Amino acid sequence: MLVLLLTQVMITHVPPAPPPFRSYAAPSIVALPTTPSDRTAALRERVAVGIVVRAPQGVLWSGSLWVDAMRGASWRQSESEALEPNCTLGEQSYGTAQREVSVTVRRSVRSGEAPDAFSIEARWTRPSEAGCGGTSTVELRQTLALAPGATQTLKGDGGLVIELRRR
């Protein structure tokens, strides 16, 4: 009888079962159309553009940049150093010999333009001919057509040449 009473007491003191696990419904997924117009698809396409920047003294830079219509791509190199020893002290206190080359490429997204339109900005800064402070700068800005596999060459003052090739 004692065993029977203990069994009844133990049974009555059993903690209640935890509530059942609630499962929540997953949030609904909104699917966007996967077939945008041909023009929109072309503008979203990521494109590699090979670039060679030349000056009379040789190649300043050669490489590729990835571009789409949402983001342009750019490359820049800058250098600054002391002036040549033959410059006067007055000239040396005011300047440094500065060199900089930069290139920016963007896909053109203006309405009415072909999806193969690219805008190019290039800048080349170098010490002036005197070499004792001061700089000379050439800038190129142009929009051009660049079909897949095509090459375009831009020429600027001072012998600056930019070659672009769409890969």
Q: What is the pLDDT of residues 122-143, one digit of tens each?
A: 999 998 876 677 789 999 999 9
- In-domain check, residue 14: no
- Strand runs labelled E in 16-147: 47-55, 58-67, 73-81, 97-107, 117-127, 135-145
Q: How many domains does one find in the chain?
A: 1
pLDDT band at 67 (very low <50, low <70, confident <90, very high): very high
- In-domain check, residue 114: yes
**Structural domain range at position 135:** 40-166
Comparing 1-5, 80-84, 122-126, the range with the smallest average pLDDT is 1-5
- In-domain check, residue 30: no
- In-domain check, residue 10: no
For 159, which DSSP code? G
- In-domain check, residue 129: yes
Q: Is-contact 107 47, C-beta < 8 A?
A: yes
- In-domain check, residue 32: no
Q: Is-contact 141 161, C-beta < 8 A?
A: no
Kindly tell me if the per-residue pLDDT of 55 is higher than 60.
Answer: yes
